Structure 1
């Protein structure tokens, strides 16, 4: 094979031979911004790197309102946290302390949560 020639390889599969493209999953569209009394929140607990993280959600708030609420809650609880994908994450096991603060803000919880 000389330097100037290009190889023309044929693998054998053709797109038109019954193969189809992989379809990507579509993410569900958010229902929009809801007032606090229309929310049905629940708690979830996860372990990350050996530490407990409390998740609360799912919030349907705009980004600025959610960030303000998160900042206020973190200050009252004295812990760290983040707002990701509609859920607020708090460092530590804070379910008992967090519930009254969110109820005071006007949020509702699912039964038995």
Structure 2
């Protein structure tokens, strides 16, 4: 009786593309995974104002792909451009205070499209 995948690539054990040895015997370093960057012009950032429990205002920048952007670096650039503190967490950028205008100007300068979401203020 013949095997279903006899003589096909699925019948042979996988080999390393670099050294040609079986993957189980290969000592090659793992290939680096290239991150795909999404150009800023192809993205729209949502800018909104959020009111926290003790009355503090926070500007939120959201709906940017965390895989296609370096959002921690963008957070740092926005904090500098807006002259305020902030953080990146839960997939969005939070800036202290009502910095919607400054954040929009900075994002547009970096090449992003922006859209304001209705909120307090």
Per the TM superposition, whether the score is higher than 0.5 is yes
- State the match for 2:101 in structure 1: 96
Q: What is the aligned residue count?
A: 82
Q: State whether residues 34 and 61 of structure 1, in contact with CA within 8 Å, keep that contact through their aligned partners in structure 2.
A: no
Q: List per-residue Cα deviations over 1:10-31 (Å, max 9, x = no partner).
A: xxxxxxxxxxxxxxxxxxxxxx
1:41-80 map, 5 Å: 41-48=45-52, 49-62=54-67, 65-80=70-85
The CA deviation at 1:112 is 7.9
Higher helix share: 1
How far apart, in 1, do the equivalents of 2:40 and 2:98 lie? 23
Q: State whether residues 75 and 88 of structure 2, in contact with CA within 8 Å, keep that contact through their aligned partners in structure 1.
A: yes
Q: List per-residue Cα deviations over 1:25-56 (Å, max 9, x = no partner).
A: xxxxxxx8522111112222111121000101
Q: List per-residue Cα deviations over 1:83-113 (Å, max 9, x = no partner).
A: 1232111100011111111001010124888
Which TM-score applies when normalising by structure 2? Answer: 0.57
1:18-37 map, 5 Å: 34-37=38-41
RMSD over aligned Cα atoms = 2.5
Q: After the TM superposition, list the runs of 4 or more consecutive aligned residues in structure 1 that deviate by more than 4 angstroms.
A: none
